[in-house]
Amino acid sequence: SGDTKIKIKKKRERGWDVTCSKRGQTIDIAVLCPNSVYSSWLQMVERSSCSSVLLSFFRKGKFLHHYENYGATAKDIADWMKHPQPPQPKTPEVPWSETDSPVFHLTDESFDSFLEEHPAALIMFYAPWCGHCKKMKPEYDEAAELLNKGSPGVLAAVDATVHKAVGDRFKISGFPTVKYFEKGEEKYTLPQLRSKDKIIEFMHNPQAPPPPEQSWEDKPSSVSHLGSEDFREALKKKKHALVMFYAPWCPHCKNAVPHFTTAAELFKEDRKIVYAAVDCTKGQNHELCKQEGVEGYPTFNYYNYGKFVEKYNGDRGEAGFTGFMRSLRGRDQGKGVKRKEEL
């Protein structure tokens, strides 16, 4: 409006200040994103790229409300600040099993009898809160609608958070998990089936899934893969250690892996330097990652003889990883020259 001015400036701490001035009053909003910087001139913040954003409103140091319009522009936020209101209660989500779905919804009690009646069945084990499950549901529904018109197989689903006996029986540990059953017996686990077309294609010609991709840890490389049992001891021996904390499913991690691996190869002859990696999803590594301040993936920490020095927030390409280490090595050489001059 005419009497409201919105001023936006970039902060040094990788964020943006939104300042709303109205009739002599100034309200400051600091917007910080841990992985990316977003200009408030953008019409929309992509939550998938910065999912850890939380906007909270404080008055005189006291928390009052969260602000939950994540598609907001700077003006939307400034307007809300004039009359802050708590978020509206969300409409309860209707359970998938209670919707008009062509998918068969199974329970602990009905599971075995259903498989006896249907010799070929694809079953999706899901959790209502799971984002990947929510994305897959409409694809699964559409595939079921088409397959019900003449396919030898059927599509079913189990809410493993409610029907825990079935989930435990088939060792369901992640969501969604898709399994194919033939004549009542579990035959395949199919992580690649997510889209309508792939589901239909599989059901018309059920085949064993391709072998799982070899993990980064199992591939030969100059990266040192560490865990909670050897992390401290290994880093104590290295003057310069750049450690990548990651999750195998994380797309940003997958993008960084080849560049990090190449950098490790370039410095493999230097015994004072190590490029190391920790899979935070494995066993006790989860606790280690928490202790090392890991809040998102990938996180890069620099250590000097086992002591944490700083987080690496530079470029995630080969040039960034190698340039960082070269600067440290150059600093070492500079100190050596200075000592000689003093002597």
- Give catalytic residues, as residue numbers: 130, 133, 250, 253
Tokens 């500079």, residue?
Answer: 334
- CA 303 to CA 141: how far, in whole Å? 50
Give 86's contacts (C-beta < 8 A, 6+ positions apart).
64, 65, 66
Cite the beta strand spans of the chain per DSSP E: 4-11, 15-22, 25-32, 55-59, 62-67, 104-106, 120-126, 154-159, 177-182, 185-189, 224-225, 240-246, 273-279, 299-304, 307-311
Whether the bond into 210 is cis, omega within 30 of 0: no
Q: Could you tell me if 108 and 165 are in contact, meaning their C-beta atoms sit under 8 angstroms apart?
A: yes
- DSSP-assigned letter for residue 297: S
